[in-house]
């Protein structure tokens, strides 16, 4: 592991020097569309088609800063933009409709080498995402690339509970129920990702003891010059690992407003019925 970090660190230093000062840089763009979500259980299968919905992600560097920029469009007029950067040892998050910026201190929590390594990997993948995916996936004779990893139930519980805590103002009492439900699903979940560049299709599957969630659709990758959104250094920053009650309440309220923008789309697509399944 230390050897991997050292190699990534060296790449980060080289790439930072190469991209520093550039307002426009080459970046990888990934677009997911024609999305269909299915939930399979012993009692049957339910499917939801997200007609018109798309997710665009651009990965690269702006002024030498590793950057991931994403735009979600519902296809019905709702749009949410978000950006993530590795800057000064921090994993920095910013989203349209959210006041300020939120960060996770990688250097403090994991070490400065890991922060540099993550930045290096982001910039390397931004140069050519398809080649980067080739390095971590297995290809069969039909041109399908695949990757499978196991996710501990505790990690899923923590992530889901954190999202629920931010999105629901009065939802703190539900966190223990959510953790218990996820933990009861088994010791781990299997996450599988596969795609076929020739067909332009992808599949993302999460298998748990209680059922299988599958997301599939069209996938398009390209490399082109990109000008990323500028992230202001003047906005106030909040530590995700140390949010006070006032900041958390503000974040919950703003996340709820974003949720309201998309709730009619979710209802129309039938996602509410799937959640009750």
Q: Which positions ≥6 away from 45 have C-beta within 8 Å?
A: 38, 39
Pick 116 or 188 by higher pLDDT: 116
Looking at residue 123, what is its pLDDT? 86
Is residue 170 pLDDT above 80, yes or no? no
Looking at residue 12, what is its pLDDT? 41
What is the C-alpha separation between 117 and 127, in angstroms, rounded? 15
Torsion-angle region of residue 132: left (phi > 0), alpha (psi -120 to 50) or beta? alpha
Give tens-digit pLDDT for 112-135. 888 888 888 888 888 889 988 998
Give tens-digit pLDDT for 68-114. 999 988 777 777 889 999 998 999 998 887 888 999 999 988 888 88
Is the Cβ–Cβ distance between 90 and 119 less than 8 Å?
no
Is residue 200 pLDDT above 50, yes or no? yes
Half-sphere exposure of 277 (CA within 13 A, CB side): 21
Is the Cβ–Cβ distance between 146 and 230 less than 8 Å?
no
Q: Which positions ≥6 away from 155 have C-beta within 8 Å?
A: none
**Average pLDDT, integer, range 19-30:** 66
């Amino acid at each position: 592991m230390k050897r991997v970090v050292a190699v990534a660190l060296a790449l980060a230093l080289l790439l930072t020097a190469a991209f520093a000062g550039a307002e426009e840089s080459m970046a990888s763009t990934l677009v997911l569309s024609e999305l269909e979500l299915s939930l399979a259980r012993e009692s049957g299968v339910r499917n939801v088609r997200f007609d018109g919905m798309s997710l665009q992600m651009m990965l690269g560097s702006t002024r030498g800063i590793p950057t991931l920029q994403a735009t979600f469009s519902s296809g019905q007029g709702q749009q949410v933009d978000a950006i993530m950067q590795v800057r000064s040892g921090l994993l920095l998050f910013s989203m349209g409709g959210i006041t300020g910026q939120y960060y996770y201190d990688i250097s403090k929590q994991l070490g400065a080498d890991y922060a540099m390594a993550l930045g290096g990997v982001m910039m390397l993948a931004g140069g050519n995402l398809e080649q980067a995916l080739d390095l971590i996936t297995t290809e069969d004779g039909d041109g399908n690339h695949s990757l499978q990893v196991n996710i501990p139930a505790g990690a899923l519980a923590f992530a889901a509970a954190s999202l629920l805590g931010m999105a629901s103002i009065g939802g703190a009492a539900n966190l223990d129920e959510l953790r218990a439900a996820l933990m009861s699903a088994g010791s781990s979940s299997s996450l599988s990702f596969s795609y076929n560049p020739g067909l332009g299709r992808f599949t993302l599957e999460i298998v748990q003891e209680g059922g299988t969630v599958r997301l599939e659709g069209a996938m398009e990758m390209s490399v082109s010059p990109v000008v990323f959104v500028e992230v202001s250094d003047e906005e106030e920053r909040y530590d995700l690992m140390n949010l006070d009650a006032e900041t958390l309440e503000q974040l919950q309220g703003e996340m709820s407003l974003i949720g309201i923008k998309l709730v009619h789309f979710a209802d129309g697509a039938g996602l509410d019925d799937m959640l009750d399944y």
